[in-house]
Amino acid sequence: MSEASPSKGEGVKRSLSGIKSTGAPHLGNYLGMIRPAIDLQEQYEAYYFVADYHALTTVHDAAKMRQSTYDVTSTFLAFGLDPERAAFFRQSDVPEVTELAWMLSCMTSMGLLERAHAYKAAKDRGEGGSVNHGLFAYPVLMAADILIYDSHIVPVGKDQIQHIEMTRDMAQRFNHIFGETFVIPEASVREEVMVIPGLDGRKMSKSYDNTITPLVSKKKLKKQLMQIVTDSTPLEDPKDPDTCNVFSLYKLFSTEEEQAEMAERYRAGGYGYGHAKLALFEKVNEHVEPFRERYMEISGDHDYLEEVLREGARKARAKAREVLGRAREACGFHPSPVV
């Protein structure tokens, strides 16, 4: 339940999420965020975007930024995002969000931001002084992203929960100082896909170079899955499914009976990791096949992708202006800038 006040679009509930344009989305992004977000478009008014302002904290290459934006957009569309129903847009096409970020910055302590995981990790590596200000202020822009659409729920993977907590803090503080202005959002995290393991068993992440990109050709998909790291137990020996990366991924794509069957084979011995990888490949491939076809059709059609992004930005911007006006007025500015 949101703690929204009546002026914020009663009845309609909004779902919002973003993903950075830092490369092609991987299986962790898909299971942790993209699939849940797309499923929510049925019951919620959905706002999903390519977080290119956030990507700019690390991507300083215009061609890569553009290409990744298209990769993310075509991935969402291929997996079933319906652009008629949901607004799908580029964060940087709604520059109002940076204005709201400034307003939130003025009521957010440095202490809060110093506790953010990404900054803390950089500081622990001794890089605290050299990270850019965008990275330090990352949670404030993310709060603005969420609050500017009166979002009720935010489908994300586990690593983003802290950011949503910070968003709630900022919204509550603003509401306390200036009166009810923002909807207080909730994170929506699916238990079974909280942290998808990568090829090496660590969390699948672009930064660890251990990703599986699902919408590649069948051949490439197979090649990636064959690279999953396993221990060196000989083929004939019994194996423990519960400590095996292949099995953890297999569980995400199979029924309980299929899982029980594979677990049995592991424990019986005479079943190699290569066999398990092939079984996993069959399952993942079966799952992505229909989406892959659509992906191949649209990923190179930049005119179509631009059209979707433009229409999404138009819808998103109208909502953003409404909420920004409310926030401007609350803190004593004119609701919209005087020209």
Catalytic residues, by residue number, are 123, 203, 206
Residue with tokens 């339940």: 1
* In the complex, least distance from residue 53 CB atom to ligand TRP, rounded to whole angstroms: 8
Residue in 141, 78, 92, 90 with CA at minimum distance from that of residue 113:
141
Q: 52 touches which of ligand TRP, ligand ADP, none (CB within 5 to 8 A by kind)? A: none
Candidates 104, 204, 320, 323; binder of ligand ADP (CB under 6 A) is: 204
Interacting residues with ligand TRP (CB under 6 A) = 16-20, 51, 54, 142, 145-146, 154, 156, 160, 163
**Can you list the pairs that 277-280 forms with residues at least 24 positions away whose Cβ atoms lie under 8 Å?**
277/225, 277/226, 277/228, 277/246, 279/250, 280/225, 280/228, 280/246, 280/249, 280/250, 280/253
* In the complex, least distance from residue 177 CB atom to ligand TRP, rounded to whole angstroms: 23
The tally of CA atoms less than 13 A away on the side-chain side of residue 118 is 19
Residue 157 makes contact with ligand ADP by CB under 6 A: yes
DSSP for 163-207, written as a single string: HHHHHHHHHHHHHHHH-S-S---EEE--GGGSS-B-TTSSBP-GG
Q: Are the C-beta atoms of 166 and 143 separated by less than 8 Å? A: yes
Kindly report the number of other CB atoms within 10 A of residue 30's CB atom: 25
3-class state of residue 46 by DSSP: strand
DSSP designation for 236: T
The amino acid sitting at 272 is: G
Residue 163 makes contact with ligand ADP by CB under 6 A: no
- What CA–CA distance (Å, rounded) separates 75 from 77? 5
* In the complex, least distance from residue 5 CB atom to ligand ADP, rounded to whole angstroms: 28
Q: 32 touches which of ligand TRP, ligand ADP, none (CB within 5 to 8 A by kind)? A: ligand ADP
Q: 210 touches which of ligand ADP, ligand TRP, none (CB within 5 to 8 A by kind)? A: none
Residue 54 makes contact with ligand ADP by CB under 6 A: no
Stretch in the footprint of ligand ADP (CB under 6 A) among 17-25, 62-70, 99-107, 253-261: 17-25
Q: 312 touches which of ligand ADP, ligand TRP, none (CB within 5 to 8 A by kind)? A: none
What is the rounded end-to-end Cα distance, in angstroms, of the chain?
A: 39
> Which residue lies nearest ligand ADP, judged by its C-beta?
32
Q: 205 touches which of ligand ADP, ligand TRP, none (CB within 5 to 8 A by kind)? A: ligand ADP
Candidates 8, 24, 29, 108; binder of ligand ADP (CB under 6 A) is: 29
Residue 203 makes contact with ligand ADP by CB under 6 A: yes
List of residues contacting ligand ADP (CB under 6 A): 19-20, 22, 28-29, 32-33, 156-157, 159-160, 193, 195-196, 203-207
